[in-house]
Amino acid sequence: MHNRTVNGIPQLGLGTFGRTGDDGLRALLDAIEIGYRHIDTAQSYGTEENVGKAVERSGLPRDAFFITTKVADTNLARGDFLPSVEKSLETLALDRIDLLLIHWPSARDAVPFADYMEALAETRARGWAARIGVSNFPIADLKRAETAIGSGVLSTNQVELHPFLQSPRLCDYARSRGLPLTAYMPLAKGRVSDDPVLREIAARHNVTAATISLAFLMGEGHIVIPASSNAGRLRDNHAALSVTLDTDEVSALRALDRGERMIDPDKAPAWDD
Q: Is 162 annotated as a binding residue?
A: no
Per-residue exposure over 208-225, b if at least 16 CB sit within 10 Å of its own CB, e if not = bbbbbbbbbbbebebbbb
Between CA 60 and CA 170 the distance in angstroms is 37
Segment holding 238, helix H or strand E: helix 231-238
CB atoms within 10 A of CB 39: 28
User: Which of 161, 30, 150, 51 has its CA nearest to residue 99?
Assistant: 51
Q: Are 100 and 123 in contact (CB under 8 A)?
A: yes
Q: How far apart are the first and last CA of the chain?
A: 34
Whole-number pLDDT of residue 3: 75
60: three-class secondary structure by DSSP: coil
Segment holding 14, helix H or strand E: strand 13-15
Segment holding 212, helix H or strand E: helix 209-219
pTM for the model: 0.97
What amino acid occupies position 141? D
Count of all residues that appear for the chain in the document? 273
CB atoms within 10 A of CB 255: 11
CB atoms within 10 A of CB 273: 17
Q: Are strands 13-15 and 9-10 parallel, antiparallel or unpaired?
A: unpaired
* Residues carrying an active site annotation: 45
157: three-class secondary structure by DSSP: strand
48: three-class secondary structure by DSSP: helix
Q: What does each of the 273 residues of the chain score in pLDDT, given as a tens digit?
A: 467 999 999 999 999 999 999 999 999 999 999 999 999 999 999 999 999 999 999 999 999 999 999 999 999 999 999 999 999 999 999 999 999 999 999 999 999 999 999 999 999 999 999 999 999 999 999 999 999 999 999 999 999 999 999 999 999 999 999 999 999 999 999 999 999 999 999 999 999 999 999 999 999 999 999 999 999 999 999 999 999 999 999 999 999 999 999 999 999 999 999
User: Which of 253, 257, 256, 255 has its CA nearest to residue 240?
Assistant: 253
Between CA 40 and CA 218 the distance in angstroms is 17
Whole-number pLDDT of residue 2: 60
Q: What angle do CA 104, 105, 110 make, to 5 degrees?
A: 125
Dihedrals φ, ψ of 254, to 5°?
A: -60, -30
Q: Are 81 and 72 in contact (CB under 8 A)?
A: no
Task: Kindly list the structural domains of the chain, giving each domain's residue range(s) and its CATH number in brackets, ordered by start.
Answer: 6-189+221-228 (3.20.20.100)
DSSP assigned state of 192: G
DSSP β-bridge partners for residue 6: 9
Whole-number pLDDT of residue 1: 47
